Chain A
Amino acid sequence: MMLLFDLALVASLLALAVHVVVEPDERSGIIAFLAFGLLLGLVWARLAAPDVALTEIAIGGGGTGVLLLRAEAAIRGRGKHEEPMTRTSKLAAAMGCAAISVGLGFAVLSFASPAPTLAPTAVEALPATGLGNPVTAVLLAYRALDTLLEKIVVLLALIGVWSLAPDALWGGAPEVRPSAVPDPLAYLARVLPPFGVVIGVYMFWVGADAPGGTFQAGTVLAAMWLLVMMGGLRPPPETAALPLRLALAGGPVLFLAIAFLGFAFADGFLAYPKALAKPLIVAIEAALTVSVAAALAMLVAGPARKAPS
């Protein structure tokens, strides 16, 4: 029964992906991509990866989908940069891609058996972190350096987006609110955020021991903030505003501070003293959640559109 479900899932996922690629109307293509993201979340649940499922639905599907929809609306009818390919080269490209898929498929089927795994090692080390969710332990303890650098990646992307503003608008506020706010949006913007914030805080809080964590919680909070800005209840902040900059830098700064304290109080950079590991990690996660929420929301909002005051 589960097998049938899996097969149907795979079939619809592939059909949607093909649809996204060949659909001539870009808007319909992107809406199909949103559906694709939701189905992908289901696949992750079937792969016993609830943390990834939440992340995929929130960021991979939802966040990216909103980003793409806004982009499509902004560039519709304006100078498209089309570079059509000839039929032959398209065919050649298709054959090449198919060959890569087949080769990859063989590689996937030829993996060593029994499968190598770090699950036992990861679980064995879990008590030293005080956490219950091994995925969170990987992200914030074993491979914390990746997570730290990835936070910087997000910040750099944001600065890169901001740098696209014209000189005169540098430091000003982005424009998020559509020219006419539809009534349902205004209604949602008033009703949803309190619930969203509660869900976000809950997701962050359980993340230490159950599926959930900073990214998922941060995305939910970012979505609520965007909703408030889109509904026109609060204007977006100026990109040079001090509170915004502090919120963005705060998470990584705390992360780095605790990482450096590891030199003095634990086994070195990014090591936690055993007794304090869990509270320290939760503190880092809290600060990161705020930073992630601010960064993701501002990434969707885009570069400044109004001159700074």
Chain B
Amino acid sequence: MTSPIHATTPGGFLLVLAVILPVCAVLAILACGPRSTVRIAMLTLAAGLAVAVAIAVELVSSGAALSYVVGAWQPPLGIALRADGLSGAMLLMTALVVVAVGLYAHVQYGLREDARNQRAQTTFWLMLLALWSALNAVFIGEDLFNLYVALELLTFAAVPLVCLDGRTETANAALRYLLFALLGSLLYLLGVGLLYGQYGTLDLLALSRLSRSDPALSVALALMIVGLLAKAALFPLHLWLPPAHAGAPAPASAVLSALVIKAPVFLILRLVLDVAPPQAAAVAGQLLAVLGAASILFCSVMALRQARLKLMIAYSTVAQLGYLFIVFPLAAGGTGLPPWETIAWTGGALQLISHALAKAAMFLAAGVIIQVYGHDRIADLGGFGRVLPVSAAAMGLAGLSLMGVPPSGGFVAKCLLLTAAVIEGYPWLAATILAGGLLAGGYVFRVIDRALAVPAGALPSRRAVPRRLELAALVLAVAAVLLGLVPLRPFGILQIGRGGLAMAGLP
């Protein structure tokens, strides 16, 4: 037996906590009943954030990936967890968004402490916590079947959030979402079976060293990537997303759009860069980039045409997701650098994170607007900036990031991607990035224009909307802008732990 692939590192137990703490909270809420729900949830938010920060600190201070071998059973028999720099960034992003959304929901549900609301409230907290656990498990999973279970956990936490308000319409959106997600995970699972049949291991790190061009591997990767695309809602598999994300209550929409769809994207990234042999990775990268570009253009136009604010934001999610897929050919380019040292890699990671922050901010701000206006028809929101200046500001700042206007995380991300597209000789991708920015400008300005417009009639009163409710969105939007202050070059933390991989994805 050669030396084991994974060894538990100091601080590795933090990875276990990241996955298990929210699960403990779910069980505690189930056992203790509704009265303690909010208290347990708040406690877990604080603890989970602390764990995510501790993992990031440990990563930066040690400069190496964190690993944990669960139960000391070495892979391939057992399961390992591993966090490299990118995973660490994902964990931190997830924690930030979940905590902000949790605080928003705490205020929002606190507004109506009545028994009627108990169902939606309890379900929301249980699902939010389970979702956090599932996301963390996806970001640090090393075992393909463990990742399947994590993806299913994610689906089962996300679907009830969609139909939390109990209307038939949202139940319909939830069922469609569930069927897409199930189909996606089944195709993924099929690929997992083929990989095991061919290589006898499910460990990603081991597979990255074993994989070579053969038919079983190509079929397996194709199935897994298509399945994950259905979950990620990339064009043309996006039809389930707008009704589902727009129909959910605002805090649920925020986590669904900002975080949930990022999990399958992250796994596609790992499969293409770490497992696929170079030629297959190149072909897959080109195809994904075409779909990504189509996503950007088609769904940006769709976003422009929406009459309802939340549907517009949901279409914008599919469009912004497209940018993550044009990273593939750009990062695997011919500069001779490993993918994670390219500017496209940094740009993609920044796009992922800044979109998560900006999109969560937008949905939360939209939630406040709906609370005050009682609807989200963009045309009838004239002058909402006077009633809700903080929410309007959050919407505008988050919009900067979506458009890619400085100073914002989205600007740095898109600027890096654009530079990469020009250097690597992909003029059509460069054109798509520019066009996508213009279209995003179009739909963001529609909202800003309404915010600043002279109201047509009497403005609605703020009713019982405390400032604290608006702050969550503003904090996230400001965080998305602050992300724009990172230097315009490959970013250190994103490379931690990548060098140890075999040079899969390279010629």
Are the CB atoms of B156 and A156 closer together than 8 Å?
yes
Q: Would you call B463 an interface residue if the criterion is a C-beta within 8 Å of the partner chain's C-beta atoms?
A: no
- Inter-chain CA distance A155–B157, complex, in Å, is 10
Are the CB atoms of A268 and B71 closer together than 8 Å?
yes
Partner of B149, one of A149, A168, A262: A149
| Nearest CB of chain A from residue B107's CB, rounded to whole Å | 21
| Nearest CB of chain A from residue B119's CB, rounded to whole Å | 4
Main secondary structure of the interface of B (DSSP, over half): helix
| Nearest CB of chain B from residue A282's CB, rounded to whole Å | 17
* Residues in chain A near residue B190, CB distance under 8 A: 104
Q: By CB atoms of chain B within 10 A, which of A103, A107, A266 has the most?
A: A107
> Which residues 146-166 of A sit at the B interface, judged by CB distance below 8 A?
146, 148-150, 152-153, 155-157, 159-160, 162-166
The digit string for B96-132, where 1 denotes a CB below 8 A from any CB of A, is 0000000000000000000011111011001100100
Are the CB atoms of A160 and B150 closer together than 8 Å?
no
User: Which one, B74-82, B311-319, B428-436, is touching chain A?
Assistant: B74-82
Main secondary structure of the interface of A (DSSP, over half): helix
User: Which one, B195-203, B297-305, B490-498, is touching chain A?
Assistant: B195-203
Given A116-B198, A163-B160, A167-B119, CB of A253 within 8 Å of CB of B31: yes
- Inter-chain CA distance A272–B72, complex, in Å, is 10
Are the CB atoms of B71 and A144 closer together than 8 Å?
yes
* Residues in chain B near residue A110, CB distance under 8 A: 214-216
Partner of B71, one of A107, A256, A267: A267
Interface size class of A (residues with CB under 8 A): 35 or more
- Inter-chain CA distance A130–B304, complex, in Å, is 63
Partner of B118, one of A104, A155, A170: A170
Q: Would you call A252 an interface residue if the criterion is a C-beta within 8 Å of the partner chain's C-beta atoms?
A: yes
| Nearest neighbor of A256 in chain B, beta-carbon distance | B24
| Nearest neighbor of A143 in chain B, beta-carbon distance | B79
User: Which one, B163-171, B352-360, B473-481, is touching chain A?
Assistant: B163-171
Are the CB atoms of A160 and B166 closer together than 8 Å?
no
Are the CB atoms of A146 and B33 closer together than 8 Å?
no
Are the CB atoms of A111 and B197 closer together than 8 Å?
yes
* Residues in chain A near residue B68, CB distance under 8 A: 268-269
Are the CB atoms of B171 and A164 closer together than 8 Å?
yes
* Residues in chain A near residue B201, CB distance under 8 A: 116
Given A107-B216, A160-B156, A256-B24, CB of A121 within 8 Å of CB of B76: yes
Closest 4 CB pairs of A and B: A116-B200, A267-B72, A170-B119, A160-B160
Q: Other than A168-B116, A170-B122, A269-B68, give 12 A-B pairs with Cβ distance below 8 A.
A: A110-B216, A121-B77, A146-B146, A152-B23, A153-B152, A156-B127, A163-B120, A163-B164, A167-B120, A246-B31, A267-B72, A271-B71
